[in-house]
Amino acid sequence: MKRGVPKREAGELWRNAASFAARKHANQLRRDGRTPYFAHVVRVAMTVAEVFGCHDEEALAAALLHDVIEDTTTDYEDILERFGKKVADIVAALTKNMMLPEAAREREYDARIAKADWRVRLVKLADTYDNLLDSVNDPRGDRDISKRIDACRRAIALAQPDAKVRPICRNAIAKTKELLRSHSRRKK
CATH number of domain containing 76: 1.10.3210.10
Query: 38: Cβ–Cβ under 8 A, 6 or more apart, which residues?
Result: 21, 22, 25, 26, 28
Per-residue pLDDT of 25-62, as tens digits, reads 999 999 888 889 999 999 999 999 999 999 999 999 99
Whether 1 shows a pLDDT value over 90: the answer reads no
- Find, among 152, 95, 147, the residue nearest to 127 by Cα: 152
- Is 5 within a domain? no
- Is 38 within a domain? yes
Domain count, the chain: 1
Question: Mean pLDDT across the stretch 17-23?
Answer: 97
Catalytic residue among 32, 50, 67, 71: 71
The whole-number pLDDT of residue 49 equals 97
- Is 17 within a domain? yes
Distance of CA 138 to CAs 23, 28, 68, 182, Å?
Answer: 25, 17, 23, 17
- Is 65 within a domain? yes
The pLDDT-based confidence of 2 (bands split at 50, 70, 90) is: very low
162 carries an active-site annotation: no
Give residue 20's domain range: 12-187
Q: How far apart are CA 40 and CA 70, in angstroms?
A: 14
Half-sphere exposure of 43 (CA within 13 A, CB side): 16
- Give the alpha-carbon dihedral of 39, 32, 133, 61, to 10 degrees: -30
The whole-number pLDDT of residue 137 equals 66
Whether 183 shows a pLDDT value over 80: the answer reads no
Q: How far apart are CA 80 and CA 180, in angstroms?
A: 35
- Is 85 within a domain? yes
77 carries an active-site annotation: no
- Is 7 within a domain? no
- Is 176 within a domain? yes
